[in-house]
Amino acid sequence: MPIRVLLADDHVVVRQGLKALLEKEGVNVVGEVTDGYQAVQWVRDHNPDVAVLDLAMPRLNGLDAAREILKISSHTKPILLTMYTEDHYILEALRAGVRGYVMKNHSREDLVRAIAQVARGDVYLSPGISEVVVQAYLNKSDLASNPLSTRERQVLQLVAEGNTTKKIATLLGLSVKTAESHRTRLMEKLDIHETAGLVRYAIRRGLIQP
């Protein structure tokens, strides 16, 4: 039976190219979405074998979407597709339970191999991923840990994308007071007290693209 895959990327051309490649290789692309929230909902409703998630997506990034997917489905295995090679991105993904980490600048066949291995229950990392970061994960190192909770990261991303507190509250299903509380707390944790600084931090962490 073909592997059932969800593609999550906010660039239509990228999704179309990946879909054509995967279907040529016998992979069944059963769904396409444009952001992390849609990916989580799609997995909840359809339970595919693999979810291929772009790391930098609007509203909810691929890593936090993967965290949510792992909470709601013991079947769907997430793969992150990204340009980021920095150790802390890879280490956070491994800690979160992501089964595959694939570089966009590698051949597209790299993704085909990743899907096949991850669907079997293995872990796949693109060639060239730092051995140091893999060893850090195996040794349970605290290298580059993220001080924010999942909800705080979600609020940070939405702030960095230019949303008002009221809009953030609506998107996350929170009261305005609660959304403001999350914003205040994350600014205290990061010791960043202006929006421009939050935007720069979000870019460094791969939550949004510059």
pLDDT tens column, 119-149? 999 989 888 775 656 666 666 555 455 688 8
Residues 191 and 92 in one domain: no
Specify the pLDDT at position 104. Answer: 82
Nearest to 81 by CA among 46, 57, 48: 57
Q: Is residue 55 part of a domain?
A: yes
Portion of the chain with pLDDT greater than 90, in percent: 58
For residue 48, the enclosing domain spans: 4-138
Do 79 and 160 sit in the same domain of this protein?
A: no
Between CA 136 and CA 110 the distance in angstroms is 24
Answer with the residue of higher pLDDT: 209 or 51. Answer: 51
Higher-scoring residue by pLDDT: 48, 151? 48
Q: Which is nearest to 7 in space by CA: 70, 87, 64, 80?
A: 80
Please report whether residue 98 resides in a domain: yes
Separation between Cα atoms, residue 23 and residue 20, nearest integer Å: 5
Claim to verify: residue 45 and residue 123 sit in the same structural domain: yes
Q: Taking the mean position of all CA atoms in its chain, how far away is CA 83?
A: 12
Residue 49 pLDDT? 97
Residue 209 domain-assigned (yes or no): no
Q: Looking at residue 142, what is its pLDDT?
A: 52
Residue 197 belongs to a domain: yes
- The kind and range of the H/E element at 100 are strand 100-103
Q: Are residues 79 and 19 in the same domain?
A: yes
Q: Is 121 found in the same domain as 56?
A: yes
* pLDDT > 70 in the chain, percent: 90
Same domain for 129 and 27, yes or no, is yes
Average pLDDT for residues 3-26, to the nearest whole number?
93
So what's the pLDDT on residue 5? 97
Task: Give the tokens for residue 116.
Answer: 């096949």
**pLDDT tens sequence across 54-112:** 988 888 999 999 999 999 999 999 999 988 767 677 888 888 889 899 988 777 788 99
Mean pLDDT of 20-33: 94
Tokens standing for 7?
């593609």
Q: How many domains does the chain have?
A: 2
Same domain? For 91 and 124 the reply is: yes
Calpha distance 99→60 (Å, rounded):
19
Residue 169: predicted pLDDT:
92
Specify the residue for token string 């796949």: 124
Same domain, 97 and 183: no
Is residue 143 in a domain?
Answer: no
Instruction: Give me the residue label for tokens 């702030």.
Output: 159
What is the DSSP annotation of 117-150? HHHTT--EE-TT--HHHHHHHHTT--TT---S-H
